[in-house]
Amino acid sequence: MAHAIFFYIFSAIAIISAIMVTVSKNTVHSVFFLILDFISISCLFIMIGAEFLGMIMLIVYVGAVAVLFLFVVMMLNVAQQKNQWFLSTSSSGHIPVGLIISTLIFFEIIIVIGGWKYKPDLFDINNSFAEANMTNTHSLGRILYTDYIHVFQISGMILLVAMIGAIVLTFRHRSGVKRQSYINQISRERSEGVQVLEVQSNKGIKIDD
Amino acid sequence: MEYLNIIFQEVYKILFLLVPVLVSVAMIVWLDRRVWAFVQKRQGPNVVGPFGLLQSLADALKYIFKEIIIPASSNKVVFILAPIVTMTLALIAWAVIPFSETQVLADINVGILYLFAVSSLGVYGIIMGGWASNSKYPFLGSIRSAAQMVSYEVSIGIIIINVLLCVGSLNLKDIVLAQQDLWFVIPLFPMFVIFFISALAETNRPPFDLPEAEAELVAGYQTEYSGMMYAMFWLGEYANILLMCAIGAILFLGGWLSPLEIYPFNLIPGAIWLILKILLLFFLFALVKAIVPRYRYDQLMRLGWKIFLPFSLTWVVLTASYLFYFNLLPIN
A105-135 pLDDT, tens digit each: 999 988 888 877 776 666 665 555 556 667 7
Q: Are B27 and B241 in contact (CB under 8 A)?
A: no
A74 touches chain B (CB under 8 A): yes
In sequence order, what are the residues at sequence separation of 6 or more whose Cβ sits closer than 8 angstroms to the Cβ of residue B211? B126, B141, B142, B144, B145, B148, B204, B217, B220, B221
- The whole-number pLDDT of residue A156 equals 93
User: Which helix or strand (DSSP H or E) is residue B169 part of?
Assistant: none
Q: Residue B315 — very low, low, confident or very high, per pLDDT cuts 50/70/90?
A: very high
A68: left (phi over 0), alpha (psi -120 to 50) or beta: alpha
Q: Which residue has the higher pLDDT, B91 or A118?
A: B91
- The whole-number pLDDT of residue B193 equals 92
Q: Which amino acid belongs to residue B59? A: D
Q: Which residue has the higher pLDDT, B259 or B19?
A: B19
- The whole-number pLDDT of residue A140 equals 82
Domain-located, residue B57: no
Measured in degrees and rounded to the nearest 5, phi and psi for residue B53 equal -60, -30
Q: Best interface-test mutation with A: which of B121, B128, B139, B329 has the largest number of A CBs within 10 A?
A: B121
Q: Nearest Cβ partner of A59 from B3, B120, B170? A: B120
Length of chain A (residues): 209
- H-type helices in chain B, by residue range? 2-39, 55-65, 76-92, 111-121, 123-132, 136-167, 172-177, 189-202, 214-217, 227-252, 263-266, 270-291, 297-302, 309-325
Instruction: Give CA angle at A9 (A6, A15), nearest 5°.
Output: 135
Q: Nearest Cβ partner of B146 from A71, A137, A182? A: A71
Closest to B72 (Cα-Cα) out of B129, B136, B133, B141: B133
B181 DSSP assignment? S
Average of pLDDT values for B17-38? Answer: 88
- The whole-number pLDDT of residue A130 equals 56
Chains A and B form CB pairs within 8 A to the count of 62
Integer Rg of chain B from CA: 21
Q: Which residues of A touch B151 (CB under 8 A)?
A: none
How much is the mean pLDDT over chain B? 86
Q: Look up the domain containing B238 and give its range.
A: 70-325
Domain-located, residue A168: no
- pLDDT tens readout for residues B135-146: 888 888 888 888
Q: Residue B119 — very low, low, confident or very high, per pLDDT cuts 50/70/90?
A: confident
Core vs surface per residue B76-89: b (16+ CB within 10 A) or e: eebbbbbbebbbbb
Q: Are B315 and B190 in contact (CB under 8 A)?
A: yes
Interchain proximity B109–A63, CB inside 8 Å = no
Q: Which amino acid belongs to residue A50? A: A
Q: Best interface-test mutation with A: which of B1, B88, B127, B144 has the largest number of A CBs within 10 A?
A: B127
- pLDDT above 70 for B129: yes
Q: Which CATH number belongs to the domain containing residue A26 in this structure?
A: 1.20.120.1200
Peptide bond connecting B207 to the previous residue in cis, omega within 30 degrees of 0: yes
Domain-located, residue B63: no
Closest to A64 (Cα-Cα) out of B249, B154, B98: B154
- The whole-number pLDDT of residue A88 equals 62
B172 touches chain A (CB under 8 A): no
Domain-located, residue A184: no
Interchain proximity B114–A55, CB inside 8 Å = yes
Domain-located, residue A37: yes
Shortest distance between the Cα of A129 and any Cα of chain B, in A, equals: 15
Instruction: Note if the pTM is more than 0.90.
Output: no
Structure-derived torsion over alpha carbons of residues B249, B251, B257, B258, reported in degrees to the nearest 10: -50
A65 touches chain B (CB under 8 A): no
Q: Residue B49 — very low, low, confident or very high, per pLDDT cuts 50/70/90?
A: confident
- The whole-number pLDDT of residue A125 equals 57
Q: Are B219 and B212 in contact (CB under 8 A)?
A: yes
Interchain proximity A63–B153, CB inside 8 Å = yes
In sequence order, what are the residues at sequence separation of 6 or more whose Cβ sits closer than 8 angstroms to the Cβ of residue B152? B198, B201, B202, B304, B308
- The whole-number pLDDT of residue B69 equals 84
Listed as ranges, residues in chain A with pLDDT below 50 are none
Q: Are B207 and B294 in contact (CB under 8 A)?
A: yes
Closest to B296 (Cα-Cα) out of B208, B232, B189, B166: B208
Interchain proximity A32–B131, CB inside 8 Å = no
Q: Is A122 helix (H, G, I), strand (E, B) or coil?
A: helix
Domain-located, residue A150: no
Q: Which residues of B touch A137 (CB under 8 A)?
A: 109-110, 170
Domain-located, residue B10: no
- The whole-number pLDDT of residue B132 equals 85
Q: Is A68 helix (H, G, I), strand (E, B) or coil?
A: helix
CA distance B86 to B122: 6
Domain-located, residue B291: yes
Domain-located, residue A180: no
Instruction: Give CA angle at A23 (A21, A26), nearest 5°.
Output: 75
Angstrom distances, CA of residue B67 to CA of A187, B87, B228: 51, 20, 8
Q: Best interface-test mutation with A: which of B1, B6, B81, B113 has the largest number of A CBs within 10 A?
A: B113
- Structurally, how many domains does chain A consist of? 1
End-to-end CA distance of chain B: 41
- pLDDT tens readout for residues B93-116: 888 888 888 878 888 888 898 999
- pLDDT above 90 for B121: no
Domain-located, residue B35: no
Interchain proximity B120–A182, CB inside 8 Å = no
Domain-located, residue B117: yes
Domain-located, residue A78: yes
In this predicted structure, which of B82-91, B176-185, B259-268, B292-301 has the lowest mean pLDDT?
A: B259-268
A2 touches chain B (CB under 8 A): yes
Q: Look up the domain containing A58 and give its range.
A: 1-90
- The whole-number pLDDT of residue A41 equals 92
- The whole-number pLDDT of residue A83 equals 61
Core vs surface per residue B289-320: b (16+ CB within 10 A) or e: beeeeebebeebbebbeeebbeebeebbeebe
Q: Which amino acid belongs to residue B64? A: I
Structure-derived torsion over alpha carbons of residues B46, B50, B51, B52, reported in degrees to the nearest 10: -40
